[in-house]
Structure 1
Amino acid sequence: MAAVIQTINQFLVSGQYHSILALIKGLRNGIVYGAKVRFPHALVMTFLFKSDSFRNKLITILQATYTHSKNLGLFVLSYKTLTTIMQYVQTQKYQPQSFIAAFCAGYLIFGRYNKVNEQINLYLLSRIIYGLAKLAVKKGYVPKPKKDAFPMFAALVWGIVLWLFEHEKDTLQPSLRSSMTYLYTDSNKWHDLKDFIIHNKP
């Protein structure tokens, strides 16, 4: 058995078939990372906010974890496959390759609507807007702020989201709308000491 493991290890580090092995490792890492991120999130959110039987809660958690893991693993595999093919055809790496590969893989995998894909896409949207703003400063398209811009960024984010919640509630994502209702609307209602301090009962 030790000899078999040693042979496999030698094969893996030999560099032979490195591109194909990198695709398999990418698939593996996507699956593992998706499970590590989604399972605790789904566990907490389901038990905190979902009213259902223990069995149904468990099924919800496992389904969300499976979907996240599968989609992230398939995305990594697709992205790495496409970039590898493009680099093979063009003999070297170009910047547009990463965009084209991710665009195609994103359309095929994360373009199918479900709650998990929606959450992942929204998470990435906030990150890329932030990243593009920093890139604009880095490239000189926008002058570098003379003082810390983070307070103004925070003020705009919170100002806009509360304005939307108060006046255009239907435009917000359901989970965000639900959270904000709990925080800002349900806190206006109580009947006795119990639902004032311990249990929220709108």
Structure 2
Amino acid sequence: MAAPTETVNKLLASGKYHAALAVIKGLRNGAVYGAKVRAPHALVMTFLFKTGPLSDKIQTILEATYTHSRNLALFVFGYKGLTTIMAWLQAEKLQAHSFMAAFVTGYLVFGRYNKVNEQINLYLLSRILYGLAKLAVDKGYVTKPVKEPFPWFAATVWGVVLWLFEHHKNTLQPSLKSSMTYLYTDSNKFNNLRNFIIYNK
């Protein structure tokens, strides 16, 4: 009689139920990737900017990591599940399936407001705007720039973000506001060598 591991390995190698198993593997990969990305980020940001007892800091890190990991796992599971079902129902894979599946799953998983979801959605927004600009050039909707546009892109991004920080601070996301306060406001505060070089404020 074959060992359970051997039986499972044969099933996985056979290609049977591949679509359904790929959905489960997506759930696993979403959980792992979410934890890998969020844990170090939460660790650094918490110890840099959060005050209070160590137990509170650890709880903040664990909660952020769990939320990111769970939500990404659920999103991948939902997205892959819906695209698989739609492709099966229509007997082919269509571009519209990607948008519709992500739209529905994004609403259900990332539509609930919390700090982690806000950061993920903002991260994606910047990437898709950049991607859409490239797509517009690739498709010929926009003429390819003669000179490299990246310096102008960088100048605009930094010009707008510093203008918002200096004059409309309340419009910025809290973590960005904290980072910019440390860089641009706290660097104005010193009255001795210790808080000039060694300590902030």
- TM-score, normalisation: structure 1: 0.96
Secondary structure at the counterpart of residue 83 of structure 2: helix
CA distance in 2, matches of 1:87, 1:111: 25
Structure 1: gaps spanning 5 or more residues: none
Following the alignment from structure 1 to structure 2, what is the Cα–Cα distance between the partners of residues 4 and 170?
A: 58
Describe how 1:59-138 pairs up with structure 2 within 5 A.
Answer: 59-138=59-138
Identity across the alignment (%): 72
Residue correspondence of structure 1 range 17-32 to structure 2 within 5 A: 17-32=17-32
Q: Structure 2: which 5+ residue stretches go unaligned?
A: none
1:36 positional shift: 0.5
Q: Which amino acid counterpart does residue 29 of structure 1 have in structure 2?
A: N
Shift, 1:2, TM fit: 7.6
Alignment partners' CA distance in 1, 2:2 and 2:10: 12
How many residues get paired? 201
Instruction: Return the alpha-carbon distance in structure 2 between the equivalents of residues 45 and 174 of structure 1.
Output: 12
- Name the CA distance, whole Å, in 1 between partners of 2:195 and 2:138: 51
TM-score by length of 2: 0.97
Q: Residue 49 of structure 2 contacts residue 178 of structure 2 at CA under 8 Å; is this kept in 1?
A: no
Residue of structure 2 in register with 1:49 after alignment? 49
Q: Which aligned segments of 4 or more residues in structure 1 are displaced greater than 3 angstroms?
A: none
The within-5 A match list for 1:154-169 is: 154-169=154-169
Which digits, 9 at most, give the CA deviation of each residue in 1:96-146, with x for residues without a partner? 110000000000000000000000000000100100010010011111011
Aligned to 2:143: 143
What SS does the aligned partner of 1:85 have? helix
Structure 1 CA distance for aligned equivalents of residues 186 and 2 of structure 2: 63
Cα offset for 1:4? 2.6
Distance 1:48 1:18 in 2: 45
> How far apart are the structure 2 equivalents of 1:59 and 1:169?
28
RMSD: 1.2
- CA–CA distance in structure 1, aligned partners of residues 121 and 179 of structure 2: 19
State the secondary structure of the residue aligned to 1:196: helix
User: Residue 192 of structure 2 aligns with which residue?
Assistant: 192
Once residues 46 and 2 of structure 1 are traced to their aligned partners in structure 2, the CA distance between those partners, rounded to angstroms, is 50
In 1: Cα distance, 2:190 partner to 2:36 partner: 38
Three-state SS of the structure 1 residue aligned to 2:3 is: helix
